[in-house]
Chains A and B, each alone.
Chain A
């Protein structure tokens, strides 16, 4: 060993840089403001609301003292929505009209039905790809923009192929499918004049995924297999909740009803977090590499708490509703008004509680947990990155390549 002091320090690579999530205040008030404006505007404010929330999150992710910047506008989303409406509504009606005109139960009707399903599937993929492209093209750090230059068609074809593989393997190929999609998305993304690379091995995720298959899809498949009427039955049960009080669900059934979903949730959360770690480690920008040390337990307990809160408040409201309806009708209120009032009011209370729990607490914590867990190697190289060759998104024209299609 030679002198282990100063000389050694010089050849050591610089320490990885941490990404920070700044616990900024004001999310609650932002959500409240969005909610009220959404109500007043019959939900048409939602595009501007979503943009405001994005601006909050983007500006909370801080790297090397400088937060991300979201430069998108609510108007972009609104126009995207109008275009989506103009495409989706006629498509839906064209298909349903054609399906109605064909002989019921015939071959032609079945083919039309499948074609419609595939169109919806493809549109979902297109929407997701375009939404991501939109978000990244409106994201910058230190004035340098992200950009996406892949082809939507190739993404749809690739995804379709992998979906067929997933179906053929009864779901086992899912980690490879998701990694292949992520690889395409990552490799077609640039930051400034550098392109992201992706190299990861999804086989490490297989065990995690098998747990998900066994604990989530297994029970669902079993229930569907045992009783095809399960879902309509469930809907009727929920609609006439009082039946539950009179012991429709046997107690041992209730235990199973709680344990299986909890285990399923755990399996799913552990898979998604492991996948996120793998995807992060697989991503690189030249010599700049990323690592995540995210753990799943916190996210799992958080989700469990929110699910319990949703179930308890939902059940309470459902139990109280019929007697409230009867009481109000008995005291002379018009039936229709009471029905709408109680059903909508009860649901609004429930949805309101969930809105704040999910958006104000759950999402923020998950996003913060992830970004706080990320470190960047060779971050000093970021200074050398130049601006992207792609045209800057303009404000005023060029909507064809920029709109976010539908909801994200």
Chain B
């Protein structure tokens, strides 16, 4: 077998020792240039740390967990050593098995902790924290979120920025409806309902008492009672402080996700997105509670609760046709059959939520002020 010039570092001192290396069967034999032997290593116990590359010598670790090294500049050395014996490079399988055994317990503990966190701790903690957030902080959070949504969706035909719809008579009608709905049972924070001029059929409640209604929903409603029933549902969420709870759940989940997925650039955002996907909608129980609170509110305000069933039925029909751009969450989704039946049966003494003139004005709340309505 061919002998190669190498430099041997014995792992006990940093001094280099010139040496000659050759392969003999399944062993690597090392000898001083003059010929006296230095040592022999089974090929199974040596590992190629680095190949000869970029003008640097290659390096071989001699022995398992050993500091002894051998550097070589002839790339043929590695080829010769590896030869037909593919097992060079140490006991890979055994190492993997040892590694898995080493990681198993920490992995099990961490996994159990995370499962516990998401299934028990977070759902328990969010309502507790929500009760203790100061109203001013909730107000700021809600206002910032609402501004962002309006900033994205409220646009004129040319794509320019607009604020929420605010035709004077429409705004007055909306204020009257909100006041009528809020009267029976005051909400934790004064509700601020705004209409956004966009085609989406959607409405949602945000922290701080903000409720955003898209014009598309206004267009779909065939009576003021239907709009009132949707608002009552959103007020139900507000009364139960669901938006704040959701925001807290999203932030805490994002923090935990950030911890799990690491702090690498961009991954914290990935974490918060993942958090939103995990917690993007209210639980079925929360929706049911909001439905119930909404119907109670309609009854107390003397508004026909059957309008809720009618509106949601129309919404479900559109959804079934695959029409419109109804997001799966954030929003008004049709209630369960049970709730719908309850709404259909909610026949109590009622008066229209708004009179005809108010309802017409409200439907034109997004009309441009340059073209004032001539019909009064």
Contact = CB atoms under 8 A, between A and B. Distances in A.
B200 A142 contact: no
Interface string A222-239: 000000000010011001
A395 B98 contact: yes
B113 A89 contact: yes
Nearest to A73: B99
Contact of A89 (B12, B67, B259, B264): B259
Contacts of B338: none
Interface in A65-86: 65-67, 69, 73, 75, 78-79, 82-83, 85-86
B335 to A, nearest CB: 19
A192 B102 CA distance: 28
B102 A397 contact: yes
Contact of A142 (B14, B264, B273): B14
A399 B103 CA distance: 10
Interface in A28-64: 38, 42-43, 46, 59, 62
Contact of B10 (A143, A240, A392): A143
A336 B279 CA distance: 13
Contact of B65 (A85, A246, A358, A392): A392
- Which of B68, B103, B266 has the most chain A CB atoms closer than 10 A to its own CB? B266
A23 B325 CA distance: 54
A82 B106 contact: yes
B139 interface: no
B67 A144 contact: yes
A43 B54 contact: no
A88 B95 CA distance: 29
Given A82-B106, A242-B151, A334-B325, A42 B13 contact: no
A152 interface: no
Interface in B15-52: 15-16, 49-50
B14 A144 contact: yes
Nearest to A93: B121
A85 B276 CA distance: 21
Interface string B53-73: 111110100000111110100
Nearest to B54: A24
B65 A395 contact: yes
B110 interface: yes
A340 interface: yes
Interface stretch (B127-135, B166-174, B344-352): B127-135
Nearest to A350: B266
B328 interface: yes
B327 interface: yes
Interface in B262-301: 262-267, 269-270, 273, 276-277, 280
Nearest to B131: A100
B260 interface: yes
B325 to A, nearest CB: 6
Interface stretch (A207-215, A262-270, A324-332): A324-332
Nearest to B107: A82
B273 A336 contact: no
Contacts of B255: 92
B110 A236 contact: no
Contacts of A397: 102
Nearest to B277: A340
A13 interface: no
B161 A243 contact: yes
Contacts of B109: 82, 86
A22 interface: yes
B65 A144 contact: no
A78 B15 CA distance: 35
B330 interface: yes
B132 A100 contact: yes
A167 interface: no
A100 B262 CA distance: 27
Contacts of B12: 386-387
Contacts of B129: 96, 100
A340 B69 contact: no
B277 A399 contact: no
A59 B13 contact: no
Contacts of B66: 392
A75 B102 contact: yes
B273 A24 contact: no
B220 interface: no
Nearest to A66: B71
A358 B71 CA distance: 33
Given A82-B110, A333-B325, A385-B13, A407 B262 contact: yes
A333 B326 CA distance: 9
A399 B199 CA distance: 59
Interface stretch (A173-181, A290-298, A341-349): A341-349
- Which of B68, B128, B199, B327 has the most chain A CB atoms closer than 10 A to its own CB? B327
A104 B132 contact: yes
B359 interface: no
Contacts of B198: 329
A153 B88 CA distance: 43
A130 interface: no
B125 interface: yes
Contacts of A355: 265-266
Contact of B152 (A67, A322, A392): A322
Contacts of A62: 56
Interface in B198-232: 198-200, 202
Given A336-B327, A344-B273, A387-B12, A323 B266 contact: no
A226 to B, nearest CB: 19
Contact of A83 (B106, B125, B161): B106
B148 interface: yes
Interface in B303-348: 325-330
22 contacts: A43-B262, A69-B59, A75-B102, A75-B103, A82-B103, A86-B110, A96-B129, A100-B125, A100-B132, A143-B67, A144-B67, A192-B13, A329-B198, A329-B200, A334-B325, A335-B330, A336-B280, A384-B14, A385-B13, A386-B14, A387-B12, A395-B95
Given A22-B56, A59-B50, A336-B329, 11 more contacts: A86-B110, A86-B113, A232-B144, A335-B200, A336-B280, A340-B276, A343-B273, A354-B265, A355-B266, A396-B102, A397-B102
Query: Which 5 pairs of residues, A with B, have the shortest CB-CB distance?
Result: A351-B266, A240-B151, A82-B106, A143-B9, A336-B327
Interface of B: 9-16, 49-50, 53-57, 59, 65-69, 71, 95, 98-99, 102-103, 106-107, 109-110, 113-114, 117, 121, 125, 128-129, 132, 134, 140, 144, 147-148, 151-153, 155, 159, 161, 198-200, 202, 255-256, 259-267, 269-270, 273, 276-277, 280, 325-330
